[in-house]
Amino acid sequence: LAVGIILVAINPYKELPIYGDAIIHAYSGQNMGDMDPHIFAVAEEAYKQMARNNKNQSIIVSGESGAGKTVSARYTMRYFATVSKSSNNAHVEDKVLASNPITEAVGNAKTTRNDNSSRFGKYTEISFDQSYQIIGANMRTYLLEKSRVVFQSENERNYHIFYQLCASAMQPEYEHLKLGRSQKNNLLFT
């Protein structure tokens, strides 16, 4: 098993000017180690290896709740869209993550560390054509934390979707579900 480059990134919990198009172009075409460690350096190395060896590449983004995994994945997708000069460059990361609000409602919950914590993993596969331009993507989710449905620790919540459904209980299209207020349904709404 070969392990490639490892980058440790820390979420500063604020916007930094190190992810714009100028920085993307600065890292494009550079060799790993020629510039400061950056998510764009990792993306560039994967992109070059894909083009040079004509083999699939993987980038694993891992971390604790609130570490910035989704944002790092977004930056990586934007990098690929920009350097590949994809004709559908109109924010490919927005298109790939367009399902996120639904995914987050069903799979995110409030924890003691994060008000919108993913309780599942995501696998995003980006497809390139023969000239290494993005032609599509697929996102899969896995490992949903099922125990949260029946039990939440103190100061934590169930999945957002349950509260959203309860908030819509009086809507005519949901009457057949016989929903009540979240406190009545023992969802510990906070």
Residues flagged as binding site for ATP: 63-70
CA distance 117 to 115: 6
Instruction: Give 109-140 as a DSSP string.
Output: E--SS-TTEE-SEEEEEEEE-TTS-EEEEEEE
C-alpha span between 63 and 118 (Å, rounded)? 11
H-helix or E-strand spanning residue 95:
helix 92-96
- Binding-site residue positions: 63-70
Residue 75 burial (CB count, 10 A): 23
**What is the CA 43 to chain-centroid distance, rounded?**
15
